[in-house]
Amino acid sequence: MYEVILYYNFSPVSEPEKFAKQHKKFCKELGLKGRIYVSSEGINGTAGGTKEQIQQYKDHLRSLPGFEDTEFKSDEADYIPFAKLICKVREEIVALHVDGVDPKEGGNHLSPAEWRNVMESGEDYVMIDVRNNYESKIGHFKGALKPDLENFYDFPQWLDEANIPKDKKVLMYCTGGIRCEKFSVLMKDKGWDDVNQLHGGILNYAKEEEGAHFEGKCFVFDDRLVVPVNPKDLAPIAHCEITGKPADTYVNCANMECNKLFVCSEEGAFQMEGCCSEECMKSEYRRPFDPENAFRPFRKWYNYFGEDFKARNEASAATPSKS
């Protein structure tokens, strides 16, 4: 069994390039895989490895000045859902494209229990899903506003046009909490006073409150793509874009020139051989369809359509299970 972590920390980094280079070297020597982004404002990452590797990584990051209080959201997986290790420098660890946003000036953090209590109290509030449309499409809290946006940096304009009363109690959530750290600051700067964010995001809430009042599943940025939140409500709320039937599995179109991420059922994937349209099925740049490997237990279509899918399958098949 392996462990997957999601984390961030807004702690100033004086030399991001140097930090990232040293950090990547450590992770590579440790054997970690994942995606880690560093900027002058801090670090944001998701990674996978054995429990021993992950513990060593946690200890290492927390040993660095300014990162002692880093919080990690953890999950178990039967494989490492990353093809390789990426550690890059970015302008922002989460891109809102608004100057002067200090996460230390953000909203009130509600624990999962406090969040649930507000939802069940009958209190008047507006809840905002601070994620992209393809994320909220397959899972969200009941009653939440779900902006039809493709990028986080589109949220400031959406907020200006949303007509949310300034005297409303605001609840906001995202996958692990990082987007709320910035968006809550923006809302306070624009005049909202009672701004609250779900501490640790959906993933933390799933662990602490078993996903109560959450419908569907949670999109994650690794090869799993989708993870369950509420064990009492696992039914898909989205629909296959090929067959129209309930589905919550995402697929990257097999046409490499398209590569569209879309909701697709097994039936739809077989019908279109992994493509999103008949036009893409005719493409000379289409990845081959391999139905025998496409639905291995616990693996998502995304793994198959990744260019290194076969190499990873062969490697995992040759490695004895550690579960």
- Please state, in angstroms and rounded to a whole number, the distance separating the CA atoms of residues 273 and 113: 44
**Could you write out the three-class secondary structure of 186-240?**
HHHHCCCCCEEEECCHHHHHHHHHCCCCEEEEEECCCCCCEEECCCCCCCCCCEC
For the beta carbon of residue 282, count every other beta carbon within 10 angstroms: 10
Q: For residue 244, count CB atoms less than 10 angstroms from its CB and return exposed for 0-12, middle for 13-18, buried for 19 or more.
A: exposed
For the beta carbon of residue 135, count every other beta carbon within 10 angstroms: 20
Of residues 27, 87, 174, 240, which has the active-site annotation?
Answer: 174
**Phi and psi of 153, rounded to 5°?**
-70, 0
- Please state, in angstroms and rounded to a whole number, the distance separating the CA atoms of residues 89 and 36: 9
DSSP state of 299: -
DSSP state of 6: E
87 flagged as catalytic:
no
- Please state, in angstroms and rounded to a whole number, the distance separating the CA atoms of residues 56 and 38: 19
Catalytically active residues are 174
